[in-house]
Structure 1
Amino acid sequence: MAGKSSKKQAHANVQVLKQLYTISGSVLGLLLLRLLFSSKKRWIWIILFHAPAAGCVYMLEKNGRPTYDSAGHVVREGMDLNQKGLTEWMFDIVYLTLFADSGVVVFNTMKFWYIMLLVPVYLGYKIKGIAGPMLGGMNNAKAPSASSTNSTSAAAKSKRQAKREKNADKTRFKYK
């Protein structure tokens, strides 16, 4: 039973990587067949557009692939590839690239690569969501005046704090 969670994590990571390589291998194989007789300019653009996805796949492989010793025991299970955050964003970039590739395969147009313009827009949205309250909080951090002390302390209380203060006056137990 020892190390069951690390074995489970290692198996899940291997399955996720296998699925990623199966999907990307089939789409890239079809893309290579489509581009077999294309111009060199199109090849250069395809290679350039695949650089971010290749970097993401490299990072997912490097950090997510489990390592085993000679007896087959898990030495390092790798990071969880099913977690939220940066790992999820890397998968999104890879899947957007594969979507654009499938558009090139089916319709033989490079216009599907415009979808990759959504990546910086989405990144900016996420950064604004994370850094916005921190930057906005610094601008509003003014010294309160004496007249507004009560209003700022009431506004500063969270719903949980207000509820606790409200329930503090209630009698919880009745003795006979």
Structure 2
Amino acid sequence: MAGKASKKQAQANVQALKQLHTVLGGVLSLVLLRLVFSSKKRWFWMVILHLPAAACTYMLEKNGRPRFDSSGHVVREGMDLAQKGLTEWMFDIVYLTLLADSGVVVFNTMKFWYVMLLVPVYIGYKLKGIAGPMLGGNNNARAPSESSTAPAAETKSKRQAKREKNGDKVRYKYK
């Protein structure tokens, strides 16, 4: 029973990495077949445009791959590849790259790579949501003049008002 959670996470990580490498291998082999007769300029751009996905794949592989000892016991389960946040964003970058590669394979155009412009826009949106309240971007705060004119009764919930009303009553008598 000991280590069941780490074994479960290690198995999930192995499955996620296997799925990622299977999809990557299939799409990239089709891209290479399409690029066999292409110009050097197109090869250059494909290498440059694949660098972010290669970096993300490397980080996912390095940090998410579990390590086992010779008897098959989990030594290190790796970071959880199903977690939200940066790990999810790395998977998104890889999948957006595969989407752009699909456009290259099917339509023989590099215009699908414009979808990668969404990555910095999305990161900016997420950072605004995280850093906005810290930098004073809280739009829900009232101006000082508005808060002084608002009655205090409006700020209390119904539950608070009911508790204050019934607070002085004795409910139980003990003998």
Fold match by TM threshold 0.5: yes
- Structure 1 length-normalised TM: 0.85
Match of 1:30 in 2: 30
> Which position in structure 1 is the counterpart of 2:164?
169
Q: Across the two proteins, how many residue pairs are aligned to each other?
A: 171
TM-score by length of 2: 0.85
Structure 1: unaligned runs, 5 residues or longer: none
Give the aligned partner of residue 8 of structure 1: 8
Instruction: List alignment gaps of at least 5 residues for structure 2.
Output: none
Shift of 1:175: 4.7
Residue equivalent to 1:63: 63
- Code of the aligned partner of 1:59: M
Q: Distance in 1 between matches of 2:157 and 2:47?
A: 58
Identity %: 73
Partner of 2:17: 17
> For the residues of structure 2 that align with 1:153 and 1:19, how far apart are their CA atoms?
57
Secondary structure in 2 aligned to 1:134?
coil
Cα gap change, 1:80 to 1:95, in 2 (>3 Å): same
Cα distance, 1:154 vs structure 2: 8.0
Partner of 1:114: 114
Given the superposition, is the C-alpha separation of residues 17 and 151 from structure 1 closer, same or farther in structure 2, using an over 3 Å criterion?
Answer: same
- Over the aligned positions, Cα root-mean-square deviation in angstroms equals 3.0
CA distance in 2, matches of 1:20, 1:35: 22
When residues 19 and 7 of structure 1 are mapped into structure 2, their CA distance, relative to the original with a 3 A threshold, is same
Distance change in 2, residues 1:112/1:10 (3 Å): same
1:48-59 alignment runs, 5 A limit: 48-59=48-59
Q: Following superposition, which runs of at least 4 residues in structure 1 exceed 4 angstroms of deviation? A: 147-155, 172-176
What is aligned with 1:74? 74
Q: Distance in 1 between matches of 2:116 and 2:149?
A: 50
Letter in 2 for 1:108: N
Aligned partner letter, 1:103? G
Shift in alpha-carbon separation, 1:118–1:164, aligned structure 2, 3 A: same
Q: CA deviation at 1:170?
A: 4.4
